[in-house]
């Protein structure tokens, strides 16, 4: 079925920037509908990393020779791009980490171990990715703090007006919530939740891993104290992500990982910490990865995040329309205009693994499982779901192939 997507974004043209699509699987071009797990990489990102290795590679910061200075400039240039990308007040508030998971662990350990204790409460929601759930549960358990999981509605919304009622009189110290759900695709009202956290004297920690690829993440507008992002979901390489944190909090925190580069001075009796952000960047940095992330940000800014967001709404609307026509397909999540490019569904009683396996025979790649959201799966009353997710290189034909594949699943499993 043909579809006209009235968008400023030309996915078919952008797609030619992505070398991964030049090959076939099972004799067919790849329909990659798993971008929420990790996005593919444009040539611009790969070239930037190769160019860095070929022309500017040396260890950063302490070298006095020209090549080391060039490498340092590349790393710090990438930090500047990240800071502008999320509207951070200062570049020193951007800490490079491996991914959002590491960023959230950094906050849970380095802030949590110092500031949490018995009588305190850490609040998350049942929508959280395990990355923003398990570190808090673990650290709360270690220090004897209470760990509270808030209900969301069936579309995945946490109602800010009900927060007092949900939390009661607890002495809340941390409120950790995601921005965009990696399962349902909807966005939370982060500014309202952050404001509530502050009114209760708590910090707000925002997991923006699934938001940053799809919509503008403005850390000042969100009002959070910490924001965690992975590079690999937003066209960047694997192995790089960043934490933005308010300088006054980062300054007061203990380090997370210790060792080389993060110190001011080391003596047998005492070590002091380096300045921000280096205090949190022990060891040799993921330099080429940071350069790649910078190139990914350039690419996204060229396309325009507003265009990406609008295009994904169109794709989701189209996918929901296609899947809704198939009897026995159960769809989860909010309306199309409220979500990032994520469609989660089940097909009758057929297990998602089997759905994904059959789709793979047609080179349609989707994710099947719990999506690192087992508390949400429990809420939905399932062990697993199928998830098709889209990005700026997704074309409607891939969604047609998804729908055709789902029909084939039904035939082959006789449901």
Partner 1 sequence: MSEFDQLYREVILDHYKNPRGHGILADADAVAEGQNPLCGDEVTVSVRFGEDGETIEQIGFEGRGCAISQAATSMLTELVQGRTATQVAELPKEALLDEIGIPLTPVRLKCAILGLGVLKVALHRSKGTALPEEWQGLSDDFGLS
Using rule CB under 8 A, residue 129 touches partner 1 = no
Bond prior to 39 in cis (omega within 30° of 0): no
- 376-395 binders of partner 1 (CB under 8 A): 377, 383-384
Q: Does 31 bind partner 1 (CB under 8 A)?
A: no
Q: How far is the CB of 351 from partner 1 (least distance, A)?
A: 4
Using omega within 30 degrees of 0 as the cis cutoff, is the peptide bond preceding 27 cis? no
Task: By CB under 8 A, name the one of 80, 89, 141, 259 that touches partner 1.
Answer: 141
Q: Which of 402, 392, 415 is nearest to 8 (CA)?
A: 392
* Active-site position among 116, 240, 372, 403: 372
Of 178, 186, 369, 405, which lies in the binding site for partner 1, with binding defined by CB under 8 A? 369
Per the annotation, the verdict on 373 as an active-site residue is no
Q: Near partner 1 by CB under 8 A, which window of 34-42, 67-75, 202-210, 346-354?
A: 346-354
Distances (CA, A) of 399 to 120, 187, 246: 47, 23, 41
Q: How far is the CB of 70 from partner 1 (least distance, A)?
A: 41
What's the rounded Cα separation, in Å, for the pair 236 and 234?
Answer: 6
Nearest CB to partner 1, comparing residues 266 and 415: 415
360: helix, coil or strand? helix
Task: Answer yes or no whether residue 351 interacts with partner 1 by CB under 8 A.
Answer: yes
Strand partners, 241: 97, 230
Return the beta strands (E) in 126-253 as ranges: 146-150, 171-178, 203-207, 226-230, 241-245
Does the footprint of partner 1 cover residue 112 (CB under 8 A)?
no
φ, ψ of residue 110 to 5 degrees: the values are: -75, -35
- H-assigned helices in 56-189: 66-85, 100-106, 112-115, 134-143, 163-167
Decide if 156 contacts 175 (C-beta within 8 A). no
Contact call for residues 232 and 213 (beta carbons, < 8 A): no
Is residue 331 involved in binding partner 1 (CB under 8 A)?
no
The single residue among 50, 59, 87, 137 that binds partner 1, judged by CB under 8 A, is: 137
Return the number of the residue (79 or 367) whose C-beta is nearest partner 1. 367
Which DSSP category does 277 fall into?
T
Q: Of 183, 368, 388, 406, which one interacts with partner 1 (CB under 8 A)? A: 368
Residue 147 CB, nearest approach to partner 1 (Å) = 10
357 binds partner 1 (CB under 8 A): yes
Residue 158: closest CA among 146, 141, 133, 176? 176
H/E run at residue 173: strand 171-178
Q: Which of 8, 26, 28, 324 binds partner 1 (CB under 8 A)?
A: 26
Q: Which of 98, 374, 379, 397 binds partner 1 (CB under 8 A)?
A: 374
Assess 352 for contact with partner 1 (CB under 8 A).
yes
353 counts as binding partner 1 under rule CB under 8 A: yes
Q: Is 337 among the residues that bind partner 1 (CB under 8 A)?
A: no
The SS3 assignment for 206 reads: strand
Q: Is residue 221 within the footprint of partner 1 (CB under 8 A)?
A: no
Q: Which of 298, 354, 397, 400 binds partner 1 (CB under 8 A)?
A: 354
Q: Strand, coil or helix: what is 28?
A: strand
DSSP string, 303-331: H-HHHHHHHHHHHHHHHHHHHHTSTTEEE
Residue 117 contacts partner 1 per CB under 8 A: no
CA distance 156 to 257: 34
Candidates 152, 358, 395, 399; binder of partner 1 (CB under 8 A) is: 358
Stretch of 7-15, 34-42, 230-238, 364-372 contacting partner 1, by CB under 8 A:
364-372
Query: Does 152 engage in binding with partner 1 (CB under 8 A)?
Result: no
Task: Indicate which single residue of 138, 304, 310, 375 sits in contact with partner 1 (rule: CB under 8 A).
Answer: 138
Does 30 bind partner 1 (CB under 8 A)? Our answer is no
For the CB of residue 137, give the shortest distance to partner 1 in the complex, in Å. Answer: 7
Per CB under 8 A, 86 contacts partner 1? no
Which of helix, strand or coil describes residue 168? coil
Q: Which residues between 172 and 211 bind partner 1 (CB under 8 A)?
A: none
* Region of 381 on the Ramachandran plot (φ > 0 left; ψ -120 to 50 alpha; else beta): left
Helix (H, G, I), strand (E, B) or coil at 198: helix
DSSP 8-state secondary structure symbol assigned to residue 109:
I
State how beta strands 226-230 and 203-207 pair: parallel
Residues at the contact surface with partner 1, assessed by CB under 8 A = 26, 137-138, 141-142, 351-354, 357-358, 361, 368-370, 374, 377, 383-384, 412-413
Which residues are the active-site residues? 372
């Amino acid at each position: 079925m043909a579809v006209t997507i009235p968008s400023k974004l030309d996915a078919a043209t952008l797609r030619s920037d992505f070398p991964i699509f030049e090959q076939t699987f099972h004799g067919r071009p790849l329909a990659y509908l798993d971008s929420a797990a990790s996005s593919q990489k444009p040539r611009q990102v790969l070239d930037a990393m190769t160019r860095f290795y070929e022309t500017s590679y040396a260890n950063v910061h302490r070298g006095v020779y020209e090549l080391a200075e060039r490498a340092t400039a590349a790393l710090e240039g990438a930090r500047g791009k990240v800071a502008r990308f999320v509207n951070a007040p200062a570049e020193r508030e951007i800490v490079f980490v491996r991914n959002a998971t590491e960023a959230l662990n950094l906050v849970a350990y380095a802030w949590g171990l110092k500031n949490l204790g018995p009588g305190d409460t850490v609040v998350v929601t049942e929508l959280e990715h395990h990355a923003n759930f398990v570190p808090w549960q673990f650290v709360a358990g270690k220090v004897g703090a209470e760990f509270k999981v808030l209900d969301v509605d069936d579309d995945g919304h946490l109602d800010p007006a009900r927060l007092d009622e949900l939390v009661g009189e607890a002495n809340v110290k941390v409120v950790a919530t995601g921005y965009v759900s990696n399962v349902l695709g909807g966005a939370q009202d982060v500014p309202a939740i952050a404001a509530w956290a502050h009114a209760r004297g708590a910090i707000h920690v925002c997991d923006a891993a699934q938001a940053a690829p799809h919509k503008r993440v403005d850390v000042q507008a969100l009002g959070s104290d910490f924001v965690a992002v992975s590079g690999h979901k937003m066209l960047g390489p694997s192995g790089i992500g960043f934490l933005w944190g308010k300088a006054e909090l980062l300054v007061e925190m203990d380090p997370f990982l210790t060792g080389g580069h993060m110190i001011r001075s080391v003596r047998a009796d005492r070590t002091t910490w380096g300045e921000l952000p280096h205090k949190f960047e022990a060891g040799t940095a993921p330099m080429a990865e940071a350069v790649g992330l910078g190139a990914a940000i350039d690419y996204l800014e060229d396309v325009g995040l507003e265009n990406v967001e609008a295009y994904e709404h169109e794709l989701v609307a189209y996918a929901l329309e296609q899947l809704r026509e198939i009897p026995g397909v159960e769809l989860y999540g909010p309306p199309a205009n409220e979500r990032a490019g994520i469609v989660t569904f089940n097909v009758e009683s057929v297990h998602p693994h089997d759905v994904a396996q059959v789709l793979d025979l047609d080179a349609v790649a989707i994710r099947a499982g719990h999506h690192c959201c087992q508390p949400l799966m429990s809420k939905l009353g399932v062990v697993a779901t199928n998830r098709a997710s889209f990005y700026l290189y997704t074309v409607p034909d891939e969604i047609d192939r998804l729908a055709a594949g789902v029909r084939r699943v039904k035939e082959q499993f006789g449901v």
